[in-house]
Structure formats: structure tokens, C-alpha cells
Chains A and B, each alone.
Chain A
């Protein structure tokens, strides 16, 4: 009965979403403001129903109810409990349900906490949220229903792809989806603003925090996905420019641009139209990301042939929300009041520059992701736009972006002085150049790009620190004065500094790993000993053991340095029975200097030796630490709850922008 209750709750949520949007439409058509009053309670009801529905699905997974098609296809009675639960969203249907649930939670948050929103704006936003809900719920119910039954029920399920049976991947989709869906808030507010014809205070109060929260979750979501790929796929790499990765990276780039342009709009009432456009584009990319990851919209052209209903539905959703949003934008945007003027060299100017670069990078990634897929669908040719394309386009653009980044926070609003900003960055510049030279000396034969990368990483870190140092007059004023100023700094400013510092840390890790990573492959027999990257590796033995739902052959390796044993590493190959798949589990010894990464390959034909691959990835840990620092920076900034009216400051801003930073 629980299965059917979950199914009914899902369908009822669809009916509620129809009312949520329909009531507001009715109000707009009839001019009577009463019907729109039900949008908020409808959003709450929708959230409660979808929570019930999702709980029912998880329950089916936990008790292994194989009369549910979705459970049969993606679960197995022998799976550990955590993967039974995460299996609920480890597949297309379940993940779509999770997606609408998060959407409904955001809608309910607006309904419950939106008391400081004008009533009409609030119901308009909820109507847009409701329309997204209608589209997705219809899609789920008609083409991707997780509650479809099979009768008679099979006695065993087909199992979850073993490479997905991993703690990082159990929480990766919820994080990523929170990011994607969070951008729907910016979208809904953008559409509501276009419907009303003016951008009110709500933008300042709501869009930036929601975008920031979405951005934070997307940041850790992507980092977690990359971390998973790093240790699970066993290739030693951490980013592959795979369409699935790009799908989450593009909304992140657009969301980063949105975040920064929202700052300009909030502070200076400028860039309104551009910000609205970014909100629409970011959400469109999030939608595309959602479908690319799970539904194979374009990764497999054949998916359309196999299930045309699903493909047409997806295209329709993408078309209606992207096309509809852009059409509304084209119609209404010219009526929006243009904002304040500013000089090219100013905080606003630097943020516009940042936006343009971010969107160019995003477009480059988009082309690189979609072009091969489009080509395949038209001509049938399979081409691969691999890392060479992305590196040749992405790296130079990103370098420009990163080199100019520290200037932004140091320029005052409205009109700035580049020379003054450069003077304040001279210390950071000196550190950066030194770091680049030191890199060249320590690692002779390194490319100039590697030295440049290290320099840029240090430049970003020191730039962020010097900005704060300048603001609090560190080294210039007495300490009590510095502390007083530090405590007076708005938290959004500190958060921005932390996030930029995080970018620097990640850049250091990325550069070091890409430039100085070493690898070695060798056939080893038990008892063999080799030296690699300053470590000695002793292959002791191979043994077998039984896991909960797999059999495992693992190697026993002793890692030592200078004759002192450090750690036992046990890379393994697992054979899962349901579905019958093998995975290889890398063994990683992580340290601040870098990760020692060991993978056991196939045994030789005669069984005497095993192919062993080893990598040393210097400073690789910094990549994920950088992402976590960015997340923390976002959190600090989010905690800043200063009033954001979005009113133009008509008089000239004070010369020293102590209270006027991003």
C-alpha cells in the first residue's frame, strides 16, 4: 500500500502544482487578487506531498520491494543499507523525484519565510516555481515514473552499478541538485520581475542569498564528483572534461557570473537587465545539466530512438523554460529602468569584465560539450573533443580572469584608479613572481605555464590577503585599530576574500598536479620492490576476501620512505555479482606533499605477476581544499544579513569604500 500511497502523493502534488500556478494566472487574467492567495499554501502542500512520495520510494528500496520496476532495475537485496537508500536517487526516475522534491522545498521556503516580500511578487515567484514543478512532475508521471509496478514481482533485483556504490556518490546528487535547483530561485525571481515590469527590493533581499547558497552547494557537489572520479575510476586524474562533468561546470560558471553581477545590482542598481538575463541562462544550463547527467539527452543520441516520449518531453521542457524566459526577457527588458552609470575602470567595470570572461569560458565549454553530440546526431560521425580543445581554450581565458581577479575588490565603486590598485597589489605581485621563479628552480625543466600557474595561485592568495590587509590598515595602523577595523568589516567582504583565496589554493593544486604528476606502470611479482617518486614500494602478496556483495582480490603493498615503513596499501579488484561487474579500487596514501596513488591491474596470463600502476600527484589535495574554502567563503558571505534595498546611491560614493564592498 505504501508504494501506491507514494504514487498517489506524487500525482496529487502535480494537481497542487497546477493550482499553485493556475491561481496566479487566474488572478492576472481577472484582475482579482484573491485567488493568488492560495499559491503559498499550495507550495507548502506540494512540498509535504513530495516528501511523502520520496519517503515511500526510499522505503521501497529499503525493504527491497521488487514489485516496483525502479527498485527491481536498480537495487539488490544483498546491497548494504546505505546503498539501498542512495540507490533511490542513483537512477534517472528516482533522481528526477529528488529534483522536484528539492524544488518544492525551495518553493516552500519562499512560502514560509517570504513574509518580507510584497504579496504580489511572492505569489508570482511561486507561480513560476509551480510551473517548473508542473513540467517536471508531468515528465516524471508520464515518462519516468518511479512507481511503475511489475507483477508478478521478481525475487531479486538487477543491482546498482558498483561504481556508484560509494559514499561520495551517495551524497553527490543531492548536493548537485540543491545547486541546480537553487538557481531556479533566481530564475523565478527574474521571471516575476519581468512580469511586473520592474525589479524591486526583492532582488536585493532574495536573489543574492539564494544564488550564493546554490553556488555553494554546486561548488562542493562538483568537487565531490571530481574527488569520486579521482579515487574510484582509477585513472589518477581528477577532471576529464566529460560531458557529465561539463554539465555541472557550466551552470557553475554562469552562476559565478550571476553572483557577481547581482552584487553590482544590489550595490549600485546597475546591470539589472544583464543580471536577469544571467539568471535565465544559468537556470537553463542547470536544466540541461540535470538532463545530461541522468537522461543521456545528448550523450546518447540513441536514447531518443529508444524512448522518444522521454526525449521529446525533455526538449519541450528545455525549450519552454529557456525559450519562454528569453522571449519574455526580449519583450519586457527594454521597459526596465536602466541603472546607474560607471566608468570602465571601477568595481562595476571589473565585475563586468569578470562576467564577460566567465560567460565566454562557459560558451567555450558549451560548444566543446555539445558540438560532438550535435555532429553525431546529424552526420553519425563520432568525434571526441578532448582535453586538448578545452585546455587550449579554457586555460588562456581562465588565466586572464584569474590575473585580473585581485584588482576587482581593490577598485572603488563608480570610478577607480588602476595605478592605485596596482600599487596596493605590489606585495602580492612580488610574492607571485618569486613563487614562479622558485618553482622553476625547484623543478628544473618545468614549462613556463607551470611557473605561471604557481605564480597565479600565489597571486590570488596574496591578493586576497592584501585586500583585507589594506582595508584593516594592517602594518600601517596600531593593532587595536586594526582589530577594530577587522571586526567592522562586513561579513560579505570577508566571505569574498575567503572564496578568492580558495580559488588560489585550488589553482596551486591544479597546476602542481597537471605539471609535475609522475606515473609508472610495471608488472610486479610478490616480493618485488621498486623505487618511485622518492618512495619504495614492496609488493608483499595477493589475497582474496568476501565483501557484502562482492568478491575482492587485493594486493598487499608496503610503502616506505628512506627505509622507514609508512603505510600498508591495499589496492583491490572487486567482482560484483549483481550486476556482474568488476571495479578496481585504488589505494591512496595522501599527504600534504601529494598523493601516492596505487592501482592494481590485471594479472599476467601465467598468473605470476600483476600489472601495477602508480602515480604521484603533487599537491592534489589542494584542489578539493580550495573548493571547501570557497564553500566556507560563500557561507560567511551568506551569513551577512545586512539590509539590501537595491536603491541607487545618487550621490557620489565616499572616497574610501570601507562600507561599500562586495
Chain B
């Protein structure tokens, strides 16, 4: 409402300024006498400048004649034109035109329903609890003034990674590694940040980071897994399968084991030259449908939900995967640990935007 009031005020300001000549007394017939006054003033200036010696007598005389001629012409115009024929409705027509043109154009091009969104207002915390963004901003401000603060970079890097700011995470990790040294965690995070920034493509730089992790910590699951992915992306399928098998021989958390197992199945299938025969697809569909059925009856199986999300994603049925995600979140509302796992899976599958 305030917005429209301001618009109305602006329009009124412009309209009143413009129609003022119509409403001022004594303006009407003043145009011609104004012209005559202009020329008379010019005559005075000629005299003044001649007196100061700036204008030669010859020029001055010529100028006087010219100006006098114009005075005559102006008063001729005045008599020819006759009295002004202005109409009393003209100002209202002008105001109407102004309001109509501007309103019509604004309704076409404007966005009256959108509020301003200055950045500082958006970054402000909604309650007394400082938001993660404002904490990040604080650390960033400190790092901007002191870019050699390695501990600061090391603290902020995992936060970036969690927030999905992979480029920033990679930059922060590089700084941290440069300033406070390499650890398997930092190198692993760096590899992961680079990979996720590149849309899950393991670049040479990322692979090098993972290799370094393995040289420090040969059993590191994450590095082995991503190097397997790198092999897979590079078309070295048997190397990839080898890495996955080795990894499965270790003790792994269940969700990781599932993912690795899935990759290995895929790679084996591709090695066997049977990407997805129709029967196989049908079988998978049936299995997935069975799983979905089972979860509909009894939704308490977290692993089942995760498997279902993955299955739908792998099959390219993204909408159903999103639906499964939503239902799983509903099922485990209140169970923070489960929700975290679901979120982790959703992120891995690229279901969160």
C-alpha cells in the first residue's frame, strides 16, 4: 500500500509541476512580451559592451539593427496570433495522460509485489542464535585481513564443504595445507571438494590429493573409494573393480559398504559387457517395486529407504527418488541421526538442490 502511495505522490508531484503554467495568473499572454523583453535586454548589453570597448562600433551598429528587426517581428507575431485559446480542461487531460501512461507501463514492466532484498538484511540472523552464515562471515572477515591465518582456514574449510561451497572449500583447504601442513583429513577433504566442485568428476589434482592420503594412511576408505571412481571415469574398469573389492574387504560402515557394493556391481556388469539387458532391468524394477511396497507397509527400515532413494536415482526416476526422500524425512522426523544420514545420501545422489 505504501508503495502505491509513493507512486501516487510522485505522479502528483510531476503533474502539478507540469500544469502549473496553466494555473498561474498573468502567464498566458506573456510569451510575446517575454520575447520583446529578451531583445530589449540584448540591446542594453550591446550598449554596455560597446562602452567597455569589447564590441567595435561597426559590429555594435549592425547588432542594434538586427535586434530591432527582431523586436518588430516579435510584435507582429503577437498581433497575428490573437488571444490564446486555452481550454480549462487541458490541465486535467495532462494529469490524466501522465497517470495513465505511467500506470499502464508500470503494470506491464514493474514488479510491485517484490520487496527489496539488500544483502545485509538477508544475512542478519533471524533469532538470537547466530546463523551459520554469519559465523562464516565473521571468520571470512578475519581471514580477509589476515590471509596467513592457517588455523582459520582449517576451521572454515569443512564448513564450506558442508554448505556446498566447494570452490571456497578447496581454496581454504589449499591455504590450510600450505600454512599448517598436510593431514589425511585435509587432503581427503581437498580431493572431495575439488571433485564435488567439478560435478563429481575426479580431476587429476583431486586424484593426486587422494593418492597422497593413501601414502599417509593406506587404509583410508574415502581416498580408495574416490580413486576407484577416478578409474571408473577414466575407463579403467578392472582397476576400479580391484579397488572396490579391496575396500569391501575392510570393515566399513553399512551405508558406505552399500555404496561401494553398488559401484562394484555396476562395474562388474559393465566389465561383463551387459550394461542393462531388458530382463535384468525388469528384475531390478521388480526388486525396487518390492522394496517400495515393503517400506509402505513398514517404514521403520532406514537402510531400506536409503536403498530405495539410490535405486530410483540410478534408474533415472528422479521424481520418485525425491518422493522417497520426502517420505523418509517424514518417517524419521525427530530422529536427528537418521535425518543426517538421509541428507547425506540425498546430497551424494544430488537430490538436494
A647 & B14 in contact (Cβ 8 Å cutoff): no
Indicate if B10 sits at the interface (CB-CB under 8 A): yes
Indicate if A433 sits at the interface (CB-CB under 8 A): no
B119 & A66 in contact (Cβ 8 Å cutoff): yes
Q: Could you say which residues of chain A place their CB within 8 Å of the CB of B97?
A: 15, 18-19
Indicate if B122 sits at the interface (CB-CB under 8 A): yes
Extra inter-chain contacts (11) besides given A42-B18, A118-B38, CB under 8 Å: A1-B6, A1-B115, A16-B18, A37-B31, A44-B17, A118-B74, A545-B147, A548-B144, A647-B59, A647-B63, A651-B61
A15 & B116 in contact (Cβ 8 Å cutoff): no
Q: A5-B6, A64-B118, A77-B119 are in contact. Are A34 and B110 (CB under 8 A)?
A: no
B119 & A41 in contact (Cβ 8 Å cutoff): no
**A642-662 interface (Cβ within 8 A of B):** 642-643, 645-654, 659-660
A201 & B31 in contact (Cβ 8 Å cutoff): no
User: Can you give 6 contacting A-B residue pairs, CB < 8 Å?
Assistant: A7-B106, A8-B7, A31-B81, A65-B118, A642-B55, A646-B66
Indicate if B94 sits at the interface (CB-CB under 8 A): yes
Q: How far is the CA of A65 from the CA of B59 in the complex (A)?
A: 61
B58 & A649 in contact (Cβ 8 Å cutoff): yes
A38 & B19 in contact (Cβ 8 Å cutoff): yes
What band does the interface of chain B fall in when counting residues whose beta carbon is under 8 Å from A? Answer: 35 or more
A19 & B94 in contact (Cβ 8 Å cutoff): yes
Indicate if B3 sits at the interface (CB-CB under 8 A): yes
**B23-39 interface (Cβ within 8 A of A):** 27-28, 31-32, 34-35, 38
Q: How far is the CA of A8 from the CA of B12 in the complex (A)?
A: 13
B117 & A643 in contact (Cβ 8 Å cutoff): no
Q: Could you say which residues of chain A place their CB within 8 Å of the CB of B274?
A: none
Q: Which of A98-106, A149-157, A220-228, A362-370 contacts the other chain?
A: A149-157
Q: A18-B101, A643-B55, A649-B62 are in contact. Are A4 and B110 (CB under 8 A)?
A: yes
Indicate if B2 sits at the interface (CB-CB under 8 A): yes
Query: Contact partner of B46 among A147, A643, A659, CB < 8 A?
Result: A643
A37 & B94 in contact (Cβ 8 Å cutoff): no
A141 & B105 in contact (Cβ 8 Å cutoff): yes
Indicate if A606 sits at the interface (CB-CB under 8 A): no
Q: Could you say which residues of chain B place their CB within 8 Å of the CB of A141?
A: 105, 109
Query: Contact partner of A49 among B14, B119, B144, CB < 8 A?
Result: B14
B56 & A12 in contact (Cβ 8 Å cutoff): no
Indicate if A14 sits at the interface (CB-CB under 8 A): yes
Q: How far is the CA of A561 from the CA of B226 in the complex (A)?
A: 58
Q: Could you say which residues of chain A place their CB within 8 Å of the CB of B32?
A: 119
A65 & B53 in contact (Cβ 8 Å cutoff): no
Q: A35-B90, A118-B74, A642-B49 are in contact. Are A8 and B41 (CB under 8 A)?
A: no
A37 & B105 in contact (Cβ 8 Å cutoff): no
Indicate if B215 sits at the interface (CB-CB under 8 A): no
Q: A15-B105, A119-B31 are in contact. Are A7 and B110 (CB under 8 A)?
A: yes
A642 & B56 in contact (Cβ 8 Å cutoff): no
Q: How far is the CA of A200 from the CA of B77 in the complex (A)?
A: 15
A11 & B28 in contact (Cβ 8 Å cutoff): no
What band does the interface of chain A fall in when counting residues whose beta carbon is under 8 Å from B? Answer: 35 or more
**B255-274 interface (Cβ within 8 A of A):** none
Indicate if A307 sits at the interface (CB-CB under 8 A): no
B115 & A651 in contact (Cβ 8 Å cutoff): no
Indicate if B45 sits at the interface (CB-CB under 8 A): yes
Q: A642-B49, A659-B56 are in contact. Are A4 and B112 (CB under 8 A)?
A: yes
The secondary-structure label for the interface of chain B is helix
Indicate if B111 sits at the interface (CB-CB under 8 A): yes
Query: Contact partner of B42 among A7, A8, A31, A643, CB < 8 A?
Result: A643
Indicate if B344 sits at the interface (CB-CB under 8 A): no
Chain B residues within 8 Å of A, Cβ to Cβ: 2-3, 6-7, 10-11, 13-14, 17-22, 27-28, 31-32, 34-35, 38, 41-42, 45-46, 49, 53-56, 58-59, 61-63, 65-67, 70, 74, 81, 84-86, 90, 94, 97-98, 101-102, 105-106, 109-112, 114-120, 122, 144, 147
B55 & A659 in contact (Cβ 8 Å cutoff): yes
Contacts between the two chains (Cβ within 8 Å), count? 200
**Which chain A residue has the least Cβ–Cβ distance from B97?**
A19
Shortest beta-carbon contacts, A-B, top 9? A647-B66, A63-B118, A34-B86, A15-B101, A546-B147, A64-B119, A37-B21, A67-B117, A647-B63
Q: Could you say which residues of chain A place their CB within 8 Å of the CB of B90?
A: 34-35
Q: Could you say which residues of chain A place their CB within 8 Å of the CB of B118?
A: 63-65
Indicate if A395 sits at the interface (CB-CB under 8 A): no
Q: How far is the CA of A660 from the CA of B53 in the complex (A)?
A: 11
Indicate if A117 sits at the interface (CB-CB under 8 A): yes
Q: Could you say which residues of chain B place their CB within 8 Å of the CB of A7?
A: 106, 109-111
A41 & B20 in contact (Cβ 8 Å cutoff): yes
B106 & A648 in contact (Cβ 8 Å cutoff): no
Say how far A608's CB is from chain B's closest CB, in angstroms. Answer: 20
Binary per-residue interface labels of chain A (61-78) against chain B in the complex, 1 for a CB within 8 Å, 0 otherwise: 001111100000000010
Indicate if A33 sits at the interface (CB-CB under 8 A): yes
**Which chain A residue has the least Cβ–Cβ distance from B64?**
A647
Q: Could you say which residues of chain A place their CB within 8 Å of the CB of B59?
A: 647, 649, 659-660
Q: Could you say which residues of chain A place their CB within 8 Å of the CB of B22?
A: 34, 37-38
B117 & A66 in contact (Cβ 8 Å cutoff): yes
Q: How far is the CA of A44 from the CA of B18 in the complex (A)?
A: 9
Q: How far is the CA of A5 from the CA of B46 in the complex (A)?
A: 49
B109 & A546 in contact (Cβ 8 Å cutoff): no
Q: A49-B14, A66-B119, A645-B67 are in contact. Are A11 and B35 (CB under 8 A)?
A: no
Say how far B266's CB is from chain A's closest CB, in angstroms. Answer: 34
Say how far A635's CB is from chain B's closest CB, in angstroms. Answer: 20
**Which chain A residue has the least Cβ–Cβ distance from B28?**
A34
Query: Contact partner of B58 among A1, A33, A67, A654, CB < 8 A?
Result: A654
**For B2, B114, B122, which residue has the most chain A Cβ atoms within 10 angstroms?**
B114
Query: Contact partner of B18 among A9, A45, A648, CB < 8 A?
Result: A45
Q: Could you say which residues of chain A place their CB within 8 Å of the CB of B116?
A: 1-3, 60, 63, 65, 67
Indicate if A120 sits at the interface (CB-CB under 8 A): yes
Indicate if A339 sits at the interface (CB-CB under 8 A): no
Q: How far is the CA of A653 from the CA of B41 in the complex (A)?
A: 25
Q: Could you say which residues of chain A place their CB within 8 Å of the CB of B2?
A: 1
